[in-house]
Amino acid sequence: MESDSVRRMESGAARARAGLGAWLDDRLGLSGIRYPVPTHANTLPYTLGGITIVSFLLLVLTGIYLGQFYDPGEVADSHASVVFIIQEPFLGELMRSLHYWLAAAFVVTLLLHMVRTFASGAFKAPREFVWITGVLLFGLGGAALFTGTVLKADQEALEAIEHNNEIADLFGVMAFWFSADFTDNVSQFLRLYIAHVSIVPVVIVGVLAVHLMLIKKHGIAPLPFGTAEEVRERETRESQVSFSSHLRHIGLWGLVVLGISLILSGLFPTGLGPEGVEGIEVTKPPWYFLWLYQPENWFGLDALWVFSAVLFVGLLAVPFLDRSPERDPRRRRFWIGLGAAVLVAWLVLTILGVTSEVVSHVEQSE
């Protein structure tokens, strides 16, 4: 008797939930996210782009917190406000370190995502523009890192701005926004802050929206193994899962990234050098720009923009160079070999950057 009334109450609650679900779905179209995607979308290599999105969203949240206490006026104020963030606000030091480690997670997952899409030939027709918007996101990621690291206003930051200004001088009027003389009205520091917290993230969101719309249009690329014919044939037979289950996978991996970043923040809080002094060069850049350090030692300041431009243009050209219908890495030995050579060169240059002596390029260029 009692269990009958419990069952009736439970089924009543289930009906009410279903009713509320249907009511919301009629208005918000939530069931639209349950469209089918191939089963392999839920493997880690095919979830890396989604994890990059989660890192980006967490960067925005921690960045909003830091922005409540950061003072972007002049170098001395900015540096003092970072010291304040470390010492005063509730969880300030943790948020700052988390922002730093999430940026590292963003870079690492972005690079792995790029390696996966390159190795699996996912950029091949009809997905060329998915790749191209991806390369734009790669460049914008670099801009976010650059404008972010200079905000510390320590010695490393001032040297980065000095390099920026010298390259802007080389390009003259073409690089007008990057020049320290763009306007007398506000400091260059304030403009870099605005770039970091609004211009760059807003452009990232816009380009990301196109990236994702194109992926929705073309669907996720098939698993690459076998001849082009076998790949096409397997694609039509592969089982499907709901996109909502893919979102759950991304969410779970996002929690793993957050957990790892929290642990790293606890173990290795982000450091801060003393307030920067202009006109000297005694530090090296952060690890993600270290691959450019040795080329600058060898070839001078020009190496910074020449190496970056060659990498950027080379990446943009990938879909127009490797054009065979084959996706299997074993059937694209030349291009896979070239991609591997670029990765090894990047790694060797980074190691050279870590191990080399600190050199003053400022003095060299005088």
- Give the footprint of ligand HEM on this chain (CB under 6 A): 46-50, 52-53, 110, 113-114, 117, 122-123, 127, 130-131, 134-135, 137-138, 141, 208, 211, 215, 220-221, 315
CB of 21 to ligand HEM, least distance (A): 26
CB of 268 to ligand HEM, least distance (A): 24
Alpha helices in the chain (DSSP H): 2-28, 48-67, 75-87, 92-119, 128-149, 155-171, 188-194, 200-218, 228-237, 243-267, 293-299, 302-321, 333-355, 361-365
Question: How many angstroms separate the CA atoms of 212 and 246, rounded?
Answer: 14
Question: How many angstroms separate the CA atoms of 196 and 201, rounded?
Answer: 7
Q: For ligand HEM, give the closer residue by CB, 135 or 200.
A: 135
| Long-range contacts of residues 198-202, Cβ cutoff 8 Å, at least 24 apart | 200/140, 200/143, 200/144, 200/147, 201/60, 201/144
Q: For ligand HEM, give the closer residue by CB, 98 or 114.
A: 114
3-state secondary structure 212-258: HHHHHHHCCCCCCCCCHHHHHHHHHHCCEEEHHHHHHHHHHHHHHHH
Q: For ligand HEM, give the closer residue by CB, 24 or 345.
A: 345
Q: For ligand HEM, give the closer residue by CB, 240 or 364.
A: 240
Q: Please identify the residue of the shown chain whose CB is closest to the bound ligand HEM.
A: 134
Q: What is the DSSP letter of 154?
A: B
CB 140 within 8 A of CB 203: yes
Rg (CA), the chain: 24
CB of 314 to ligand HEM, least distance (A): 11
CA torsion angle 196 198 200 203 (round to 10): 170
CB 215 within 8 A of CB 98: no
**How buried is residue 98: exposed, middle or buried, by Cβ count under 10 Å (0-12/13-18/19+)?**
buried
Q: For ligand HEM, give the closer residue by CB, 263 or 317.
A: 317
The Cα-based distances of 340 to 6, 224, 238, 337 in angstroms read 63, 18, 30, 5
CB of 185 to ligand HEM, least distance (A): 32
Q: Which residues pair with 208 in a beta bridge?
A: none
CB of 79 to ligand HEM, least distance (A): 29
Q: For ligand HEM, give the closer residue by CB, 143 or 260.
A: 143
CB of 211 to ligand HEM, least distance (A): 6
CB of 305 to ligand HEM, least distance (A): 20
CB of 41 to ligand HEM, least distance (A): 7
Q: Which residues pair with 85 in a beta bridge?
A: none
Q: For ligand HEM, give the closer residue by CB, 99 or 113.
A: 113
Question: How many angstroms separate the CA atoms of 137 and 211, rounded?
Answer: 9
Q: For ligand HEM, give the closer residue by CB, 76 or 313.
A: 313
Q: For ligand HEM, give the closer residue by CB, 143 or 167.
A: 143
CB of 153 to ligand HEM, least distance (A): 26
